[in-house]
């Protein structure tokens, strides 16, 4: 069990200690001021304090949260990047060496994005700003009901070489502190040029989020690497260029990646990736281990992929729901180049279009993949409805073949991050319904595309 202390006063935010059955980790020991209100609407240089509810702030050059400092976004705050994606100088980033907290709410979302007139499908993959890039001794990052959109501008020569080479597209967020906490709940990641997010190390709880149209020609929606410990569940991924989720132990650090990935809904992923065998839904590789249960995988180029070099011995999986309207996709529900095999409680399309999951408001056959002579499609060949949806409801209708076909008792969440309150996570356990939208309403609450949510 994890224990922690959360203390937030007018002058200090403190996260103390995390206790895990396999290790003891102390996180964010520094005292960090959060009470200082930021009143100027233009941010430059070093920034700390509170971005005030209802206010809009702008930055056109890199801004930095220094070690020991905190930036807190109150609900209903907008942070607007002014950039063009042409170079690192004109694609500003948030450099986080301290702690970053965005506390949007269901009724009053936060936005970290570009000007509203640029928030269009035409700018998917444009990479107009540089994302949030965290140092390896940064504090924690906590995102709730927050829109992160249109990141991916090229990295500059001063980028951390362990994360990017100069010129590489940046992620909407990169987190690298193996002793830190990354908590993301009820948020959106939209239209990135490469990976939606990349967690190179750290403790994670990623619950009830939506990843849309991540990657122009490559990139995962959510990419976890060496030393990642935690839970990823009740997320919707639609139209990622490569995988919805990639879990890897690459990086050769002291802690083996161990991620529980369950009750996610993943649609139409993998088709923009040119490399053979790459691109699909869930990919565990390079000595990563975990538990993979209760996921719904719809019309993805590849299904569950456990590579021969994954820690298959210590990885368990079952109760996946697979649907496809093309036999080529059915043939790869468990990838032919991987170690995964059909499990006893899987639900699968035996023939194209069989076992429609019966979503409340989403047509899984709106695009017939049999019409594509090759299963590699650039973004211009993909109807917008299969990489994002203006309105949808992935709840399961009565009689859905995915209802009550999951396993809610196979395991409990790891809960490697602090729990509860405004600053802790609300990490959910597995549910006996499959997918991100269980019938009791406890899962993902999103019913519309990120860019359909207006200010």
Phi/psi of residue 24, nearest 5 degrees: -115, 130
| pLDDT for 16 | 33
Q: Which of 177, 198, 196 is nearest to 187 (CA)?
A: 196
Asked if 95 contacts 138 with a C-beta cutoff of 8 angstroms, the reply is no
Q: List, edge to edge, every strand of the sheet that includes 110-113.
A: 56-59, 78-81, 110-113, 146-149, 188-190, 210-212, 236-238, 265-267, 296-298, 321-323, 347-348
Asked if 110 contacts 77 with a C-beta cutoff of 8 angstroms, the reply is yes
| pLDDT for 7 | 31
The reported pTM is 0.93
Q: Is the pLDDT of residue 291 over 70?
A: yes
Mean predicted confidence (pLDDT) in 244-271: 95
Q: pLDDT digit string (tens) for 233-246?
A: 999 999 999 999 99
**Domains contained in the chain, number:** 1
367: domain range? 5-452
Mean predicted confidence (pLDDT) in 242-251: 95
Q: Is the pLDDT of residue 99 over 80?
A: yes
Of residues 27 and 233, more confidence is placed in 233
Task: Please report, for residues 31, 92, 290, the alpha-carbon distance to residue 59 in angstroms, rounded to integers and kept in the order given.
Answer: 26, 7, 39
Q: pLDDT digit string (tens) for 356-410?
A: 999 999 999 999 999 999 999 998 899 999 999 789 999 999 999 999 999 999 9
Asked if 192 contacts 214 with a C-beta cutoff of 8 angstroms, the reply is yes
Least confident of 276-285, 347-356, 438-447: 276-285
Mean predicted confidence (pLDDT) in 28-35: 47
Of residues 19 and 196, more confidence is placed in 196
What percent of the chain is modeled with pLDDT above 90? 87
Q: pLDDT digit string (tens) for 53-75?
A: 999 999 999 999 999 999 999 99
d(CA 114, CA 120): 10
Q: Which of 175, 294, 280, 190 is nearest to 232 (CA)?
A: 294
Helix residue ranges, H only, 279-415: 327-330
Q: Is the pLDDT of residue 251 over 70?
A: yes
């Amino acid at each position: 069990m994890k224990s922690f202390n959360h203390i937030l006063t007018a002058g200090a935010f403190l996260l103390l200690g995390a206790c895990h059955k396999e290790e003891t980790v102390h996180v964010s020991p520094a005292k960090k001021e959060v009470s200082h209100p930021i009143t100027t609407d233009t941010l430059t240089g070093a920034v700390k304090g509170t971005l005030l509810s209802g206010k809009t702030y702008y930055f056109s050059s890199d801004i930095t949260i220094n070690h020991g400092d905190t930036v807190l976004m109150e609900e209903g705050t907008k942070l607007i990047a002014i950039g063009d994606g042409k170079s690192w100088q004109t694609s500003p980033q948030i450099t986080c060496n301290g702690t970053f907290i965005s506390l949007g709410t269901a009724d009053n979302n936060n936005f970290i994005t570009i000007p509203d007139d640029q928030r269009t499908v035409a700018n998917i993959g444009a990479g107009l700003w540089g994302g949030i890039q965290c140092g390896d001794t940064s504090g924690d990052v906590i995102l709730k009901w927050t829109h992160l959109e249109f990141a991916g501008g090229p990295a500059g020569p001063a980028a951390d070489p362990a994360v990017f080479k100069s010129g590489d597209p940046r992620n909407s967020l990169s987190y690298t502190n193996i002793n830190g906490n990354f908590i993301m709940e009820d948020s959106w990641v939209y239209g990135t040029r490469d990976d939606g997010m990349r967690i190179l190390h750290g403790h994670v709880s990623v619950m009830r989020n939506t990843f849309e149209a991540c990657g122009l020609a490559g990139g995962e929606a959510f990419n976890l690497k060496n030393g990642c410990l935690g839970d990823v569940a009740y997320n919707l991924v639609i139209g990622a260029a490569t995988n919805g989720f990639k879990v890897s132990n690459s990086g050769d650090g002291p802690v083996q990646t161990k991620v529980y990935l369950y009750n996610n809904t993943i649609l139409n992923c993998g088709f923009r990736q040119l490399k053979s065998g790459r691109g699909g839904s869930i990919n565990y590789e390079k000595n990563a281990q975990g538990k993979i249960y209760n996921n719904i995988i719809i019309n993805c180029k590849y299904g569950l992929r456990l590579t021969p070099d994954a820690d298959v011995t210590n990885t368990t999986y079952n109760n996946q729901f697979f649907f496809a309207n093309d036999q080529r996709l059915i043939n790869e529900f468990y990838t032919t180049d991987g170690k995964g095999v059909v499990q006893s409680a899987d639900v699968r399309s035996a023939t194209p279009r069989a076992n429609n999951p019966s979503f409340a408001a989403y047509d899984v056959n709106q695009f017939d993949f049999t019409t594509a002579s090759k299963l590699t499609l650039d973004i211009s060949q993909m109807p917008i409805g299969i990489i994002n949806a203006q309105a949808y409801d992935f709840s399961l209708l009565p009689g859905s073949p995915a209802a009550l076909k999951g396993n809610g008792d196979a395991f409990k969440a790891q809960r490697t991050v602090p729990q509860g309150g405004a600053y802790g996570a609300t990490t959910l356990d597995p549910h006996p319904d499959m997918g991100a939208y269980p019938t009791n309403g406890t899962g993902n609450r999103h019913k519309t595309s990120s860019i359909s949510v207006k200010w």
